[in-house]
C-alpha cells in the first residue's frame, strides 16, 4: 500500500517512518539520513571448547523482571568427527563443523553467563597440535550449557503478526542424536513445525513436549522456518536465501508462502539490480534477510554480501581444492554488512530507498571482529532503545570453510562466529533532516482516529512545529482553478492548528506529544481527512503517529 494522491489514506495509529515515501506528499529542503546504531562490541563471545567455530544468535528476549536470556547455536570444528556424518555431508569437508543449541542468561543484556546444564556431551578441551593451527576437540564433558531441544524459535506474537496467544511461538524440535549434531543434519531433520503459547521450560518441566501444538504441517522446505502471517494474502511467510541455486547468477532472497503449512509456493523477491555494484572485485548480492512485523509493515534486516569473484571458489576442477566434489563452488570470498529495508505488501516487494548503503558497516581489517555482519535478530526493546543482537565473524566469507586438506584463505586460524550488540534509539533508522533554515514536510492524507499526535524527533539543536489542514482542493487563480498541490496547504491551516498555535518542540524524544495552545487536542478533527504539515529547523524528524490518549 503506497501513498495515493487520489485518496488512499495513511493509517494514523501506526508510527509512520521515513524509510520510504509512503507518508510523504511533499517536502522542501530535507535530506533523508540513514542513522547507524552504536556498536557495543562482542557480548556473547565464542570462549568455550565447544565454540571453536563460534556462536550464532537464535533468540534473545527479556523476562518480566527485566533480565535477559538467549538461545544460540554453539559450533565447534572437528575434522575427525566428520566421519560420523552420513551421505554428502561426510564427503563435504567444508562442513566439518558440529553444533548444539546453547543457553545463556544475563541481568543487563551485556554481560552473559553460560550455566552448566549437564544435558549433553561436548568437547572438554581443545587440541591445537593435532591439525595445527586448527582447533581439534579433546575429550568430552557434560559440564556445558548445551542441550536446548529445539533448533528454531520464532516469536510470532511479537514479530510475526500473530494475535492468537496459542501460536505465539513457532518451534522446530532438534533431532534426537546419540552423538554430535552435524550442521547439515540440523537443517534437514525434524522439519515438522509446532506452536506454543510459552517457551517450553525444558529444564524444569518433564512434560513440556505435551504442551506443544502440532502445526499440522511443516515450515518452509528451504530451512524449515516460518517468520510471519501475511494478513493481506492470508498465508504464512518465510524469507530465505535461495529459490534457485544462488550461483546462477547470484544469491537472492526467496519468499516462501503457504495457506496451510502443507503446500508451499516460492518466488524471488529481492536480488541485485542495475544500481548495485557488479564488478568481479565487488559483485553485490543479498546474503540473507531477517523480517519482522511492526507498525503495519514488514521490516527487513538485510545482510548484504560484497562478493570477490576474482578469488578461486574451489570445487572438483579447482586447483585451490581438487578432489572435493561437494565443496560449495558458490561460497565465494567477500565481506558482509547489514542494511535495512521494508515491505508494505507482505514481503513481495521491498523498498530499496535506504538499502543502497550500510546500516551496520563491516569491519575494515582482516581480523576485525565484524568483518562479516550476518544473522541479526529482531530488536529487543530496552527503555527508549532498540537492541539488536547480531552475528559477526572475524574473517572473510570462505574463510569459514577451512579444513586441513584444503588451501584455506587464512593459513593460521579459523574464523570465529560471535554475537555482538548494536543499539539505537527506538525506530530511529532514518530521519528527514532539515538544516538551519525552516523547511516544510507535508504528509499524505490521514483520517484522524485519535486525539493525540506524537513525534519521534530530535529537536535538541533546533525546532519543530506542526500545522494541520483539511485535505481538500485549494482555490487558486481567483477561484477559477481547484488545486491539490500539497504545498498550498500551508496557507490554509485550520484555525487553532496553525504553526503559531503549536507549542514549539525542542526535545529529543522517541515519543513526544505535540501540544497546541489552550490545551487543544485533536478531538475536534476526529473522522476528518487531513494533512499534517511539519515546519522543521535544524532537527531530525524520524516519524509520527496519531493515538488515543487513554489507550
The answer to whether position 414 is within a domain reads: yes
Reading the block at residue 489, the C-alpha cell is 496547504
- Structural domain range at position 508: 16-31+436-547
Which DSSP category does 51 fall into?
G
Contacts of 185 (CB under 8 A, 6+ apart): 85, 89, 175, 177
Provide mean pLDDT across the span 445-452: 95
Q: Please check whether residues 216 and 356 belong to one and the same domain.
A: yes
Same domain for 297 and 346, yes or no, is: yes
Position 38 pLDDT exceeds 90: yes
CA 41 → CA 304, 378, 398, distances in Å?
A: 20, 18, 23
According to the model, what pLDDT value does residue 121 have? 93
Residues 22 and 157 grouped into a single domain: no
Q: pLDDT at position 362, please? A: 97
**Residue that terminates a domain, selected from 370, 401, 427:** 427
Is residue 275 assigned to a domain? yes
Task: Give the residue among 454, 468, 426 at the shortest CA–CA distance from 549.
Answer: 454
Mean pLDDT of 286-291: 95
Write out the three cell numbers for 266: 516460492
Task: Look at residue 442 and tell me whether its pLDDT is greater than 50.
Answer: yes
Q: How far apart are CA 448 and CA 10, in angstroms?
A: 10
Residues 329 and 370 in one domain: yes
Classify residue 75: in a domain, yes or no: no
CA distance 153 to 172: 7
Do 421 and 442 have their domain in common?
A: no
pLDDT band at 178 (very low <50, low <70, confident <90, very high): very low
pLDDT for res 86 = 56
Highest mean pLDDT among 101-110, 183-192, 392-401: 101-110
Q: For position 151, what pLDDT does the model report?
A: 82
Q: Which residues contact 334 (CB under 8 A, 6 or more apart)?
A: 305, 306, 307, 308, 396, 397, 398
pLDDT-wise least confident of 102-116, 138-152, 338-352: 138-152
Phi and psi of 210, rounded to 5°?
-70, -15
Going by pLDDT thresholds of 50, 70 and 90, the confidence category of residue 410 is confident
Q: Which of 5-9, 268-272, 291-295 has the lowest mean pLDDT?
A: 5-9
Residue 6 CA to residue 104 CA, distance in Å, equals: 53
DSSP 3-state assignment of 486? helix
**Interval 218-277: pLDDT, tens:** 888 777 889 999 999 999 999 998 776 545 678 899 999 999 999 999 999 999 999 999
**Has residue 394 been placed in a domain?**
yes
Please tell me whether residues 407 and 450 are part of one structural domain.
no
H helices then E strands: how many in the chain? 3, 37
Residue 183 confidence class, pLDDT cut points 50, 70, 90: very low
Q: pTM of the predicted model, to two decimals?
A: 0.92
Please report, for residues 68, 106, 170, 421, the alpha-carbon distance to residue 62 in angstroms, rounded to integers and kept in the order given.
Answer: 4, 9, 18, 15
Q: Quote the pLDDT of residue 480.
A: 80
Whether 435 contacts 29, CB under 8 Å: yes
Report yes or no on 110 lying in a domain. no
CA distance 415 to 53: 7
Assess whether 443 and 507 both reside in one domain.
Answer: yes
Does residue 459 share a domain with residue 341?
no
Output DSSP code: residue 184.
Answer: H
Residue whose C-alpha cell is 547489514: 338
Query: Does the pLDDT value for residue 184 go beyond 50?
Result: no
Domain limit, last residue, from 427, 453, 487: 427
Residues 440 and 313 occupy one common structural domain: no
One domain, residues 167 and 298: yes
551/548 Cα distance (integer angstroms): 6
Whether 307 is covered by a domain: the verdict is yes
**pLDDT at residue 327, as a whole number:** 44
Number of other CB atoms surrounding residue 344 within 10 Å: 17
Residues 468 and 395 reside in one and the same domain: no
**Residue 94 belongs to a domain:** no
Residues 498 and 404 in one domain: no
Q: Which of 404, 427, 450 is the last residue of a domain?
A: 427
Confidence band of 98 (pLDDT split at 50, 70, 90): confident
Q: How many domains does the chain have?
A: 2
**Among 361, 339, 365, residue whose Cα is nearest residue 352:** 339
pLDDT of residue 316: 41
- CA-closest candidate to residue 311, choices 335, 337, 288: 335
**pLDDT tens digit sequence for 450-506:** 999 999 999 999 999 999 999 888 888 888 887 777 777 888 899 999 999 999 999
- Within a domain: 300: yes
Amino acid at each position: 500500500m503506497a501513498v495515493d494522491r487520489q485518496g488512499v489514506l495513511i493509517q494514523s495509529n501506526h508510527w509512520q517512518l521515513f524509510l520510504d515515501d509512503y507518508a510523504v506528499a511533499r517536502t522542501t529542503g530535507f535530506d533523508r539520513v540513514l542513522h547507524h546504531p552504536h556498536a557495543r562490541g562482542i557480548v556473547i563471545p565464542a570462549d568455550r571448547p565447544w565454540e571453536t567455530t563460534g556462536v550464532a544468535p537464535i533468540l534473545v528476549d527479556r523476562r518480566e523482571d527485566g533480565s535477559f536470556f538467549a538461545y544460540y547455536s554453539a559450533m565447534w570444528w572437528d575434522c575427525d568427527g566428520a566421519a560420523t556424518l552420513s551421505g554428502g555431508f561426510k564427503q563435504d569437508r567444508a562442513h566439518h563443523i558440529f553444533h548444539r543449541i546453547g543457553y545463556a542468561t544475563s541481568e543487563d543484556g551485556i554481560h552473559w553467563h553460560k550455566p552448566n546444564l549437564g544435558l549433553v556431551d561436548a568437547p572438554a578441551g581443545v587440541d591445537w597440535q593435532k591439525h595445527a593451527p586448527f582447533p581439534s576437540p579433546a575429550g568430552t564433558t557434560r559440564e556445558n550449557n548445551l542441550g536446548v531441544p529445539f533448533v528454531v524459535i520464532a516469536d510470532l506474537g511479537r514479530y510475526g503478526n500473530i494475535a492468537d496467544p496459542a501460536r505465539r511461538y513457532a518451534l522446530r524440535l532438534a533431532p534426537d542424536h546419540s552423538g554430535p549434531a552435524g550442521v547439515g543434519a540440523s537443517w534437514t531433520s525434524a522439519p515438522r513445525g509446532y506452536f506454543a503459547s510459552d517457551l517450553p521450560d525444558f529444564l524444569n518441566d518433564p512434560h513440556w513436549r505435551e504442551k506443544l501444538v502440532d502445526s499440522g504441517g511443516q515450515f518452509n522446505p528451504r530451512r524449515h522456518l516460518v517468520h510471519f502471517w501475511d494478513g493481506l494474502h492470508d498465508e504464512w511467510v518465510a524469507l530465505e536465501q535461495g529459490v534457485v541455486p544462488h550461483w546462477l547468477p547470484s544469491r537472492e532472497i526467496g519468499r516462501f508462502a503457504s495457506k496451510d503449512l502443507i503446500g508451499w509456493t516460492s518466488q524471488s523477491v529481492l536480488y541485485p539490480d542495475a544500481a548495485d555494484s557488479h564488478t568481479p572485485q565487488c559483485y553485490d548480492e543479498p546474503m540473507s534477510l531477517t523480517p519482522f512485523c511492526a507498525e503495519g509493515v514488514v521490516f527487513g534486516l538485510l545482510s548484504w554480501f560484497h562478493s570477490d569473484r576474482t578469488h578461486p571458489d574451489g570445487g572438483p576442477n579447482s586447483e585451490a581444492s581438487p578432489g572435493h566434489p561437494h565443496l560449495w563452488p558458490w561460497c565465494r570470498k567477500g565481506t558482509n554488512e547489514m542494511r535495512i529495508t521494508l515491505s508494505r505488501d507482505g514481503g513481495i516487494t521491498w523498498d530499496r530507498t535506504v538499502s543502497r548503503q550500510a546500516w551496520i558497516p563491516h569491519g575494515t581489517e582482516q581480523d576485525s571482529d565484524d568483518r562479516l555482519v550476518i544473522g541479526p535478530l529482531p530488536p529487543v526493546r530496552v527503555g527508549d532503545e532498540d537492541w539488536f543482537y547480531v552475528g559477526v565473524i572475524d574473517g572473510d566469507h570462505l574463510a569459514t570453510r577451512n579444513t586441513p586438506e584444503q588451501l584455506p584463505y587464512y593459513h593460521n586460524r579459523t574464523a570465529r562466529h560471535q554475537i555482538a550488540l548494536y543499539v539505537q534509539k527506538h525506530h530511529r533508522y532514518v530521519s528527514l533532516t532539515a538544516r538551519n533554515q525552516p523547511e516544510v514536510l507535508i504528509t499524505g492524507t490521514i483520517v484522524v482516529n485519535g486525539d493525540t499526535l506524537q513525534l519521534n524527533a530530535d529537536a535538541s539543536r533546533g525546532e519543530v512545529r506542526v500545522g494541520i489542514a483539511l485535505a481538500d482542493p485549494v482555490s487558486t487563480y481567483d477561484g477559477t482553478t481547484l488545486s491539490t498541490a500539497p504545498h498550498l496547504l500551508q496557507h490554509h491551516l485550520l484555525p487553532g492548528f496553525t504553526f503559531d498555535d503549536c507549542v514549539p518542540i525542542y526535545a529529543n524524544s522517541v515519543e513526544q506529544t505535540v501540544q497546541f495552545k489552550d490545551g487543544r487536542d485533536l478531538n475536534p478533527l476526529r473522522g476528518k481527512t487531513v494533512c499534517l504539515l511539519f515546519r522543521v529547523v535544524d532537527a531530525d524528524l524520524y516519524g509520527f503517529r496519531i493515538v488515543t490518549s487513554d489507550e
